[in-house]
Amino acid sequence: MNATIDQTILDRANIWLTGNYNEETKRQVRYMMENDPVSLTDAFYRDLEFGTGGLRGIMGAGTNRMNQYTVGMATQGLANYLRKVYGEQAEIRAAIAFDCRNNNTLFARITADVLSANGIKVFLFEDLRPTPELSFAVRYLKCQTGVVITASHNPREYNGYKVYWNDGGQLITPHDKNVIEEVLRIRSIEDVRFEGNPSLIHTIGEEVDRAFLEKSCQQSLSPEIIRQHHDLKIVYTPIHGTGVRLVPMALKAFGFTNVISVKEQQLVSGDFPTVHSPNPEEGAALGMAIQKAMETGADLVMGTDPDGDRVGVAVRNEKGEFILFNGNQTASLIIYYMLRQWSERKKLTGKEYIAKTIVTTELLKDMASHFGVETFDVLTGFKYIAELIRNLEGQRTYIGGGEESYGYMIGDFVRDKDAVTACCMIAETAAWAASQGKTLTGLLTDIYVWFGFYKEKQISVTKKGKAGAEEIQRMMGQFRETPPEAMDNSRVVRIMDYRSQTEHNRITGEKTPIPLPTSNVLQFFLEDGSKITVRPSGTEPKIKFYFGIRGTLGKAEEFEETDRKLEMRIEAISRSLGLS
């Protein structure tokens, strides 16, 4: 069997057989060497990459796997960087949380041990907690860093390790690159201090929960309306994850008294036994919750992903049927409600702003402009919204923000996606709509009538292997060198090239700089207000096309016909780009 395996792979695997690794790890390596050369190659052909967001990979033995040794090496690199940056301080602090995934308590403990072995005071949550609470805890406990063990919505065989800085946001420049450099310097587990210092590890739990929930409740804008509609029937599912305790607690604290659980999905499990994927972007993940809502006559369905930072929503339409909202639609409802309330309650002073990622619907910007509120666009990733908030702190007031991939952040007490508070704000928006005799679908239709009908869709084209990667780069090159003049008979009036950080106004000919970090993304804005974004995926062999099409909705009764026409427009533009 060994003859079929590259010698370099065998040499790397043999280090794990002869080194200071535990017997279970060695057993797994021996099994792969004797029976599974494909798995052995994948497990050892490289080191698991510590990227700008941390680690993410399949669990198991090997240098390219999530295990106690790769976690330990990553943590030692982080500790070394913390000592360099904060070495003169009397105390360095770190907060650690973990979600429901298999091996998470082990990986969290390894992280705590290594940090404490390096003289860093550790605050370790007693049990699983949502990622937004970890972000909150970093600032609440005055920590210099935070780590959450999670693979978000990835399949059950994955796990991950996300690092946060002292503002509660994920690592950004220069800390992301600097931590990576330190991690790369750890070449062996012999470089890792695994023996923890118990006196430096402190268990945290209910105190932080209470503080988090208090801040969450402070985001409520209409407590009197919640009191009137406190019995709004809500079905909530944590999909086996961290929302199981805190989301119902938060909804209750807001004032909602009729929250219905999905018993089968209350089970905390990294195996996610009732779903193929614990991803609330996929309709099937909310299937059981929708069924429960149909049985109980509920009005609203919400489901959060395993680490509680994203939420999917299903609501009844005007026919009483349950439909799924996409991330842009949910963000539009939340932001409209908040803007409306801030305006009616005389809270707007001219210094407020919202934030969204560049691929998120332009409807948010149109609504904010109507209320005299500025919109800031950032690159994909909530760490950039956190950076924006930090840079504007004390100067401007952040209201809220979101991204198309089901992440929302209400207020600035958390510096990452927060499905806990988002669930409460979605429910409050539904109560406010009910106070006007409307459903959330009815409210969304009204928004489309007032501001324009925005319809979004994403199409991903997979190009595998080296040849595929080269083809994706050729496609991006062609779009840059010969950008389209028009799409479906609507002129391209503005081009945003985030790699060259240049905005080109085709009407005036003016070129202006884009004040954002460089990124391999192109955006084409059409004369009718539509937006088409093209970007290669950073994690998959895909090139992604984001369509944001704008139309006019004269009245609510024309919704279905207008929706059909916009879908046809997306198909026409897709064909013009050679995608179908």
Per residue in 448-477, pLDDT (tens digit) is 999 999 999 999 998 887 788 889 999 999
Give the DSSP per-residue string, 411-454: SSSSSS--HHHHHHHHHHHHHHHHHTT--HHHHHHHHHHHH-EE
- Residue 36 scores a pLDDT above 90: yes
3-state secondary structure of 27: helix
Give the mean model confidence (pLDDT) for residues 331-350.
98
Dist CA 259 CA 188 (whole Å): 50
Check 116, 152, 220, 530 and give the catalytic one: 152
Dist CA 170 CA 411 (whole Å): 17
The pLDDT tens digits for 37-63 are: 999 999 999 999 888 789 999 999 999
Topology of domain 212-451, CATH: Alpha-D-Glucose-1,6-Bisphosphate; Chain A, domain 3 (3.40.120)
* pLDDT-derived band at 497, boundaries 50, 70, 90: very high
Per cent of the chain over pLDDT 90 is 91
Give the mean model confidence (pLDDT) for residues 352-366.
97
Cα separation values, 144 from 54, 198, 199, 381, Å: 16, 19, 19, 21
Q: What share of the chain is helix, strand, coil (3-state, %, to 5)?
A: 40, 20, 35
The pLDDT tens digits for 239-279 are: 999 999 999 999 999 999 999 999 999 999 999 999 999 99
Q: What is the CATH number of domain 67-204?
A: 3.40.120.10
* pLDDT-derived band at 1, boundaries 50, 70, 90: very low
- Residue 318 scores a pLDDT above 90: no
The number of CA neighbours under 13 Å toward the Cβ of 409 is 31
Averaged confidence pLDDT in the chain: 95
Dist CA 147 CA 134 (whole Å): 8
pTM: 0.95
Give the mean model confidence (pLDDT) for residues 160-167.
97
Q: Which residues of 317-327 are buried (b: 16+ CB within 10 A; e: fewer)?
A: eeeeebebbbb
pLDDT value at residue 539: 63
DSSP, res 103: T
**8 Å CB contact between 517 and 173:** yes
566: amino acid identity, one letter = L
* 261 catalytic per annotation: no
- Residue 88 scores a pLDDT above 60: yes
Using alpha carbons, select from 517, 519, 569, 518 the residue that is nearest to residue 547: 569
Q: In this structure, what are the phi and psi dihedrals at residue 23, rounded to the nearest 5 degrees?
A: -65, -35
Number of H helices, E strands in the chain: 18, 23
**8 Å CB contact between 257 and 382:** no
pLDDT value at residue 181: 95
**8 Å CB contact between 357 and 404:** yes
Domain boundaries, given as residue ranges, for the chain: 67-204, 212-451, 455-576
3-state secondary structure of 240: coil
pLDDT value at residue 459: 92
Dist CA 210 CA 200 (whole Å): 23
Q: Residue 461 CA to chain centroid, in angstroms?
A: 22
The pLDDT tens digits for 519-568 are: 999 999 999 999 999 999 866 678 999 999 999 999 999 999 999 999 99
* pLDDT-derived band at 108, boundaries 50, 70, 90: very high
Dist CA 256 CA 571 (whole Å): 42
**8 Å CB contact between 393 and 415:** no
**8 Å CB contact between 167 and 415:** yes
Q: What is the CATH number of domain 455-576?
A: 3.30.310
Dist CA 475 CA 461 (whole Å): 11
Residues 6+ away with beta carbon under 8 Å from 382: 169, 170, 403, 407, 409, 415, 416, 417
Whether the domain at 67-204 and the domain at 455-576 fall into the same CATH topology:
no
What does the chain come to in residues? Answer: 580
- Residue 214 scores a pLDDT above 90: yes
